[in-house]
Structure 1
């Protein structure tokens, strides 16, 4: 049985690592991919999605351009981590795919209501598009099976001492999402900073096939983690969780999002269950890292060079 989903993303190198699986694994029925401003501007994240739908020869996958800035706070990208384009290191050539005319929020609305069954949402960038959907089309919540997000942290941030990047980028959107009554699973830094693609795994990727070379071209410019210690595959975790939830340890908690002051972007969990009688998020707290590495290598190794539109490594 396939998982029907909408993937909201801001590529970004680890986003590309996830989209490589999304577009090549038959267990996912990709109904829509939406872009959002985050790691780089929305113009660049949209173009990067198109690079990947072109590369993996998936012209039928609908791609919609999303929000160009957060709801309230000024936009600041993460090009220091992902490079100026968001995906440096590989030249994808002339693109054969393009966006649809509808903006992301309207495309999500249309997609959700085009099917009789419910759709899973996966959000691995700022949550602006999802918040816009909740505000503009609140009736659509009943069409969403669940929401899996990469974002947040219970134990410290990667943008500030307390804030994870995706939540920090648009904390007001994250607050709307977390208070929406959606069935939310949060896979944050508590897990993704453990889910490192090891040096050995990266060495195997390089020798594996053209897709492995493409990914290693990108990873060579990825300024998160280290070559020696491993590179965090933050966004890949959302897809691994959907296919292998047994590899994660989760706890149901109430999570608040701080939207102003020095702790802006922090995700604060009521770990002691002292201030809330209910919970609103399933929080991932641990992962089987060796299983994650083995699974990722297996996924990439199965991508035939004959099914892609290969480009070339950038100098």
Structure 2
């Protein structure tokens, strides 16, 4: 079976760790590069978290340092949700930087994509700064990209502000560039992560999935949602789910614009499902039982694949 070549931009972050773990060991995927970016916490922490995760999982995917701030405005932080280092609840052994490759993320991504015999897929589960820089620096790269999968945006209310979801609010200008790249874009919005939550029974099953399951159980048990909701919501892995199992989701075409000027709505994702033109496919519903079963099986697969 031909594997889908994949580049991941991420800001780990607890749910980012889950999305990366699943992607590393998925039979359908060949992860070519990880680009940690600022986001949930600073680049210093997201980079080290990525290296530490790979050391824990015994994977060898190259890591390239991404952006340390948004394109235009000051960085925001979600340390109150994910902990000061981004991964509250579990302490990895600190890894060396042997997987870290020198160079600018946009250039390294461009070289990897252009040298790939197959079109490469992009997965963005943090602010989209590095993908925006890639498209602006190397506009011809879109010819060699298959599609983009994003966890971000919101159909209704946000979780960073009343109208903006965190990943998009982190760098709205970058998100606007990605949505207008001309590429097929698939979106797992905030509402899908809210719906694709895990029950305590399902969390207990994850805890039983060896060392990888215990690691994720510890992290997810330490998420502190700003709204006080105690459910274990699964945000970033839903984008991986759409990529690998679109049949679990209801996808609807929409034209997406990011609000860049509003005083109270800056960073809002304006998803117009009635527009005659569309630039994205938005997940509007998910089969929670099928998603949860896949999620748990994926953690088992990761634990079994960890040498």
- Same fold, TM-score > 0.5, yes or no: yes
**2:154 aligned partner:** 153
Alpha-carbon distance between aligned partners in 1 of 2:217 and 2:191, rounded to the nearest angstrom: 25
Task: Give 4+ residue runs of structure 1 displaced > 4 Å after superposition.
Answer: 225-229
**2:34 aligned partner:** 33
Give per-residue Cα distances to partners, 1:134-175, cap 9 Å, x unaligned. 110001011110000110011110111110000001001111
Contact preservation (8 Å) 1:198, 1:293: no
- Say which SS state the counterpart of residue 253 (structure 1) adopts: strand
Within 5 Å, give how 1:193-204 maps onto structure 2: 193-204=194-205
**1:285 aligned partner:** 284
Pick from 248, 268, 271 the counterpart of residue 269 of structure 1.
271
Shift, 1:289, TM fit: 0.5
Alpha-carbon distance between aligned partners in 2 of 1:19 and 1:105, rounded to the nearest angstrom: 20
**2:48 aligned partner:** 47
Q: Which of 131-140 and 217-226 deviates more? A: 217-226
**2:207 aligned partner:** 206
Contact preservation (8 Å) 1:126, 1:166: yes
- Say which SS state the counterpart of residue 100 (structure 2) adopts: coil
TM-score by length of 1: 0.92
Within 5 Å, give how 1:99-178 maps onto structure 2: 99-178=100-179
- Say which SS state the counterpart of residue 76 (structure 2) adopts: coil
Alpha-carbon distance between aligned partners in 1 of 2:32 and 2:304, rounded to the nearest angstrom: 24
- Say which SS state the counterpart of residue 147 (structure 1) adopts: strand
Alpha-carbon distance between aligned partners in 2 of 1:160 and 1:228, rounded to the nearest angstrom: 16
Give per-residue Cα distances to partners, 1:267-296, cap 9 Å, x unaligned. 1122332xxx31111111010101111111
Q: Which of 202-211 and 129-138 deviates more? A: 202-211
Shift, 1:302, TM fit: 2.9
Q: Quick one: structure 1 residues 72 and 94, their matched pair in 2 at CA, closer, same or farther if it must change by over 3 Å? A: closer
Shift, 1:246, TM fit: 0.7
Instruction: Report how many aligned residue pairs link the two structures.
Output: 304
- Say which SS state the counterpart of residue 38 (structure 1) adopts: coil
Alpha-carbon distance between aligned partners in 1 of 2:227 and 2:74, rounded to the nearest angstrom: 30
- Say which SS state the counterpart of residue 256 (structure 1) adopts: strand
Contact preservation (8 Å) 1:224, 1:231: no
Contact preservation (8 Å) 1:13, 1:87: yes
Gaps of 5+ in 1: 309-315
Alpha-carbon distance between aligned partners in 2 of 1:45 and 1:109, rounded to the nearest angstrom: 22
Contact preservation (8 Å) 1:23, 1:53: no
Q: Quick one: structure 1 residues 262 and 200, their matched pair in 2 at CA, closer, same or farther if it must change by over 3 Å? A: same
Gaps of 5+ in 2: none
Q: What is the root-mean-square deviation of aligned Cα atoms in Å? A: 1.7
**1:93 aligned partner:** 93
Alpha-carbon distance between aligned partners in 2 of 1:148 and 1:88, rounded to the nearest angstrom: 26
